[in-house]
Amino acid sequence: MKCKIVYMSIIVASVFGCKNGSKTSYGTGNDAKSDTISVAYFDQGYSDETGGVIVLKAFDEIIEMAEDGDMKAQFSLGLCFRNGEHVKQSDEKAVEWFQKSADQGFAMAQHELGFCYYEGKGIQQSYSNAINWYRKSANQGYSMAEHCMGVCYERGEGITQSFEEAAKWYTKAANKGNKYSMYNLALLLEEGKGVEKNINTAYEIFKELAENGFADAQCNIGDYYRLGVVVKKDINMAMEWYQKAAENGNERAFGWLEELRNTQ
């Protein structure tokens, strides 16, 4: 019943608000006014799971603060370059600003810099450097960095493979409500890798995630009903969960829906 290992780029697809439809002149040769555009400025404790303080500041203020050494503004500016928000997209510029912020100890920037190394975006790919920055961020308790430490240990990327260490890091992040770590921990529990095998606990985690719209977990719950594991075998319930997962974009669920429909 195992699905993919979930590995997320990280926070904020785009929480940059109030843009006027134009891009600023900061590094773009454009003439838009930066004081008419607002950019997210993150509190140290912000995460997708737990929330935190996000303040919208004028883009020209973010630039001034970043150039004056404000690590949170540097991180925000790095996100702008990474996402191509209000500036011409540049992974290299993103790395430059993430590095400045990370060097000052900002956990979110340390994680993001680690991901740049992991993916080789804007900088030469290096799992060992990714691990270095993930660890700095994770040691500050940032859940997405803890999750990424778990992924690297599970895959043996940049570090000796250890399912026990993977489970430890996933547990840290899962205890903070990180849904990706909850999912990966459930997979380990299901197979008894790095932890004592416990299919009942795995099912409960999948169920919690599934009820909150997590597509891969919805597909897993479909598997449990299809196979009659933990729960009573029920093809109709399996199809119901596969349908939910498929509607949320899970490709494996599409396959099972088609197969089950053809056998009815």
Domain locations along the chain: 198-264
Q: Comparing C-alpha atoms, which of 174, 164, 149, 132 is closest to residue 47? A: 174
Displacement of CA 105 from its chain's centroid (Å): 20
Specify burial of residue 51 (Cβ count, 10 A radius: 0-12, 13-18, 19+). Answer: exposed
pLDDT of the chain, 264 residues: tens digit per residue: 655 555 555 444 233 333 333 333 344 333 344 444 677 777 655 555 544 567 778 888 889 999 999 999 999 999 999 999 889 999 999 999 999 999 999 999 999 999 999 999 999 999 999 999 999 999 999 999 999 999 999 999 999 999 999 999 999 999 999 999 999 999 999 999 999 999 999 999 999 999 999 999 999 999 999 999 999 999 999 999 999 999 999 999 999 999 999 887
Q: Under the phi-then-psi rule, with left for phi > 0, alpha for psi from -120 to 50, and beta for the rest, what region is 89?
A: beta
pLDDT at position 34:
42
- The Cα–Cα gap between 46 and 235 comes to 41
Q: What is the dihedral of CA 14, 19, 25, 31, to 10 degrees?
A: 150
- The Cα–Cα gap between 76 and 209 comes to 30
pLDDT at position 18:
30
pLDDT at position 30:
39
